Amino acid sequence: MTVTVDQILFLLSALVTLGAAIIVVTARNLVHAALALIATFFGVAILFVLLQAGFLATVQVVLYIGAIAILIIFAIMLTRRVMQDSGPQTNQQWWLAALLSLALFAALWAVFQQVPGLQNVTGTQVIPNDSLQRLGFGFVDPNQYMLPFELASVLLLIALVGSIVIAGEKQ
Amino acid sequence: MVPLSWYLVLAAALFCVGLYGVLARKNAVAILMGIELMLNAVNINLVSFWHYLNPQVMAGQMFTIIVLTVAASEAAVGLALIISIYRRRNSVIAEDMDLMKW
């Protein structure tokens, strides 16, 4: 079986993503975990590029790394006084959590084996050339997805105003 | 030629790693990082289904963008809550938050 270039690219980016994700959940130092989270987001962005969703890769980098990961690092720095990276980082039921995660992965794997012909779906569909234009029009077209777009905007506004209220100093 | 099943297995593995992070970590910020991992796994699933099954319809990418937006707002609110709790209780260990009202 010959291994093609896109398979090698996929395996490399999958390795980066999963390796960084495992560092996120097992690191003792929270700042190391946050940096590994940034690496995971980068790996996911590379996977989006491989799936020919370039706009989504850009949005992933700008939003997840540029906003959410920065927020997480700020929260780590603001809550650091007591949790001094010493002592166990996992609670007492960590073995049960590991068992549950492995069981879920095994169950999902079993589901994938059940689907007939899943191995044959190899992406011979043609990606339209103007997919980005279609995406843009889909967001503003009242017949398509304008309503979820506006609702997401309102949700973001409410969430950010709310988080400022929650985290603000009580004068 | 990468089959769809590889992407689905990767997303499942990422989801399970995030699930372990949520269930096994003490620090509340670390739990939030596990939640973000799970949301990224869902996004990989959505985009790979869009690419392999019906790339003519943009609904897959749109769903992904909405999920990303909701994840951003949820991370903001969650971190604001953690900071507020830290100001009062001086601790972010999830096990110590055992009172509804004090």
Q: Residue B84 belongs to a domain with what CATH number?
A: 1.10.287.3510
Structural contact between residues B26 and A88, judged by C-beta atoms closer than 8 angstroms: yes
Class of domain A1-81: mainly alpha
Contact A125, B54 (CB under 8 A): yes
pLDDT greater than 60 at residue A44: yes
Query: In which residue ranges of chain B is pLDDT below 50?
Result: none
Give how many domains chain B has, as a whole number: 1
Looking at the domain assignment, is residue B80 inside a domain?
A: yes
Distance CA B50, CA A86 (A): 44
| Shortest Cα distance, chain A CAs vs residue B100, angstroms | 17
Identify the band that residue A171 occupies on the pLDDT scale cut at 50, 70 and 90.
low
Nearest residue of A to residue B48, measured between CA atoms? A51
Look at residue A40 and tell me whether its pLDDT is greater than 90: yes
User: What was the pLDDT predicted at B40?
Assistant: 96
Structure tokens at B101: 């009202």
* B 68-87 residues inside an 8 A Cβ radius of A: 68-77, 79-84, 86
Summarised one tens digit per residue, pLDDT across range A14-33 is 999 999 999 999 998 889 99
Contacts 24+ apart (CB under 8 A), A146-150: A148/B62, A148/B66, A149/B66
Contact yes or no for B76 and A97 at CB 8 A: no
In a domain, B54, yes or no: yes
Distances (CA, A) of A98 to A27, A136, B21, B37, B39: 15, 42, 9, 16, 19
Kindly state the percentage of chain A with pLDDT values over 90.
56
Q: What are phi and psi of A139, to 5 degrees?
A: -75, -25
Residue A44: list chain B partners with CB under 8 A: 40, 43-44
In a domain, B65, yes or no: yes
Q: What pLDDT shows up at residue A3? A: 83
Mean pLDDT of the A142-158 span: 91
**B31 neighbourhood in chain A, CB within 8 Å:** none
Contact B61/A22, CB-based, under 8 Å?
A: no
How far, in Å, CA of A139 to CA of A144, rounded? 7
**B96 interface with A at CB cutoff 8 Å:** no
User: Which of A18, A79, A89, A130 to mutate: most B Cβ within 10 Å?
Assistant: A79
Mean pLDDT, chain A, whole residue set:
88
Q: Under DSSP, is residue B54 helix (H, G, I), strand (E, B) or coil?
A: coil
Position A114 confidence tier, pLDDT thresholds 50, 70, 90: confident
Select from A142, A61, A46, A141 the least CA-distant residue to B47: A46
Question: Does the beta carbon of B67 lie under 8 angstroms from any beta carbon of chain A?
Answer: no
Percent of chain A with pLDDT over 70: 94
Which chain B residue shows the shortest CA-CA distance from A34?
B33
Q: Which domain holds residue B11?
A: 4-94
Query: How far out from the chain centre does Cα A12 lie?
Result: 17
Query: What pLDDT score does B23 carry?
Result: 93
Any domain includes B44: yes
What is the per-residue pLDDT for A86? Answer: 60
Residue with tokens 């994700």: A21
In a domain, B100, yes or no: no
This prediction's pTM: 0.92
Read off the pLDDT of residues A79-102 as tens digits, 9 standing for 90 and up.
Answer: 876 555 566 677 888 899 999 999
